[in-house]
Amino acid sequence: MLSILRYRRLRKELEKSIQINSSQQSYKDDSPLRGSGELTRDNYTENRATQRETTAHDGYSEKPGASPRTTVTLHNGQRVHIPGIEVVSSGSLPGTGEPAEIFLVGFDGDHDQLNPRNWPLAQKWRTLGIVGMTGFLVSWASSIDSAVTKQVQADFGVSDLTESLATALYLIAFGFGSLVAAPFSETVGRNPVYLVTLSVFMIFIMASGLAPNIGGQLAFRFLAGLFGCTPLTTFGGSMSDIFDLLERTYAFPVCCSLSFLGPFLAPMVGAFIGQSTAISWRWSEWTSLIIAGLITGAIFLFVPETYTPVLLKWKANHLRSITGDPRFKAPFELRQISLSSRLLRSCSRPFKLFFGELMVALFTMYLVVVYIVLFGFLTGYDFIYGQTYGFSQGSVGLAFIPMNIGFLVAFAIIPHVYLKYKKTLQIAARTEKGHPEPEERLWYAMYGAPWLPISLFWMGWTSYPSISYWSSLVSSVAFGFAVQGIFISSYQYLIDTYEEYAASALVSATFFRYIASGVMVVVTLPMYKNLGVHWALTLLGCISLVMTPVPYVFYRYGHIFRARSKAAAT
């Protein structure tokens, strides 16, 4: 709704702006001609010469910070002043071989409110908060079923290993869905993707809650995960739409926290649903459905479109409609790339980067290790706290609280990292490159990385009935802090390193970690049964210990790897 209203308001603003500029034409007859109405061989050369001799504007602007207004002559002969327009060559005139021109549509200067990065801070955070909750939602739905496994087993008459597939297939579908999610949001915009995919997601969540047997539940959970991944991969794009390089230093941790809090708050609620005699286990799906309905409604009512190429396309559409001149074009409309080509590239490039770029491969593997442990705890916590300490089903769910506290503890270092990056950014702004090296994004990981193996060894070798359960609970705080720091740095580093190919690099990380997480949910049961809690956590701790040097190595030698890379930005 807000996007629709914004679209209509933009047309009114442009109509008013063009009307005002046209009325001022009588006072501006000496303005340089920046565009030609009817481009012909006779007037083309003269116009081009005039443009080379004049500046890119007519010398006045209505408001401070706005771009100077470009004077263009429309096909009907009317000369109008329009902000944010650049006259560029578009090929050749029919039958002449001479270069023609189009009116390239841009923003009206550095303070144009159409640009989401110029929104008031309150509007930015309101938008981020709502779309960030989509990550919370789909992550919540990914894990809440794991807390009611016993009840579903009894209802459907299946083993615990079979029922664990409800969570595993959802996560695996996340991985496959991430391959095709980005091209849609980069074609039609962010909001349509949120609204359509969340609506379909709700249908399959409802179907899963109504499933009469295990086959139906598994099928609908897989389909829910396939559509649920889209918001998770899109809200990061929304964040980059509205926050600049420095602001992302504190905005991105908020996005990460919402994504992590979802899957590890859900088992707490699901555990009490499972042990309740008043409601069915199916309420684990109904809670997800209710949250999804609230968030989808909030997006429809309160979140405007943020994808700037689509916003400029709106502006170009309005200008063509208002003036009747088809030469107004947004940069987005000049791309000759079909959606099918985008999908093909989106499916192939992540694998090319993973197998061809050492940085993508190592950080993806690091995140795979983190997620293997993280989602392994969904079923592993029943062994650690249910069987070792005799916790009830509800109390096992509460054991996830310290891990969630650990996610939030990472907020404590945000001011330090922000100020450090701000200082580095100011120094880099005076250099030719103009921005800091990507390795400056690795501080979160360098603070958190050592705590991952420490927390796993700590939890593994203090989980005895003779040792207070408070010891392992405190270790999970350290684990949550480590996970948050590693994830924040890995994503920000890949974004800053690959820039143009950042989306593909992140899809690579998303695909492999969710496939591994889904497999791990199933493997966890026999692993804990056969190895026991102590050796299972020791094995995971050793794997994470091997990966611990990754952020430190890249902080020291990352510039060498980037120089040898074919895809990394120089």
3-state SS record for 272-319: HHHHCCCCCCCHHHHHHHHHHHHHHHHHHHHCCCCCHHHHHHHHHHHH
- Long-range own/partner contacts, residues 281-284 (CB < 8 A, 24 or more apart): 281/148, 281/151, 281/152, 281/155, 282/209, 282/210, 284/144, 284/145, 284/147, 284/148, 284/209
Query: Residue 63: what are its φ and ψ, rounded to 5°?
Result: -135, 150
Q: Are 292 and 205 in contact (CB under 8 A)?
A: yes
Res. 434: pLDDT tops 90: no
Rounded to whole angstroms, how far apart are CA atoms 168 and 291? 22
Domains of the chain: 2-105 (no CATH), 121-305 (1.20.1250.20), 338-570 (1.20.1250.20)
- Phi and psi at residue 140, in whole multiples of 5°? -55, -50
Residue 69 has a pLDDT of 61
Q: Could you give the C-alpha distances from 277 to 151, 430, 473, in angstroms and in order?
A: 11, 66, 28
pLDDT at 464: 93
Strand partners, 86: 104
Mean pLDDT of 267-288: 93
Match 């590693």 to its residue by tokens: 486
CA atoms within 13 A on the CB side of 265: 17
d(CA 430, CA 448): 31
- Per the DSSP assignment, residues forming a β-bridge with 72 are 80
Per DSSP, helices labelled H in 158-247 are 160-163, 165-188, 190-210, 214-242
Rounded to 10°, the helix 469-498/248-275 angle is 140
Predicted confidence band at 152 (pLDDT cuts at 50, 70, 90)? very high
Got the DSSP string for 2-50?
HHHHHHHHHHHHHHHHHHHHHHGGGG-TTSPP-S-SS--HHHHHHHHHH
**d(Cα 407, Cα 411) in Å, to the nearest integer?**
8
User: What does the block give as tokens for 237?
Assistant: 């794009």
Q: By percentage, how much of the chain surpasses pLDDT 70?
A: 88
Indicate if the pLDDT at residue 310 is higher than 80: yes
Measuring CA to CA, which residue among 360, 508, 514, 364 is closest to residue 438?
Answer: 360
Whether the pLDDT of residue 98 is over 90: the answer is: no
- Beta strand pairing call for 328-329 and 101-105: parallel
Separation of alpha carbons 19 and 26, rounded Å:
13
Lowest-pLDDT range, 184-188, 241-245, 522-526?
184-188
**What is the per-residue pLDDT across 55-84, written as a single tens digit (0 to 9) for each?**
333 434 445 555 556 777 777 777 777 778
The predicted pLDDT at position 27 comes to 38
**Measured over all CA atoms, what is the biggest interatomic distance in the chain, rounded to whole angstroms?**
95
- For residues 562 and 208, give the distance between their C-alpha atoms in angstroms, rounded to a whole number: 46
pLDDT for residue 151 is more than 70: yes
pTM of the model: 0.84
Q: What's the confidence (pLDDT) of residue 235? A: 78
Rounded to the nearest integer, the mean pLDDT of the chain is 84
H or E stretch including 86?
strand 85-89
- Note the helical H segments in 308-357: 308-323, 339-356
Coil/strand/helix, residue 104: strand
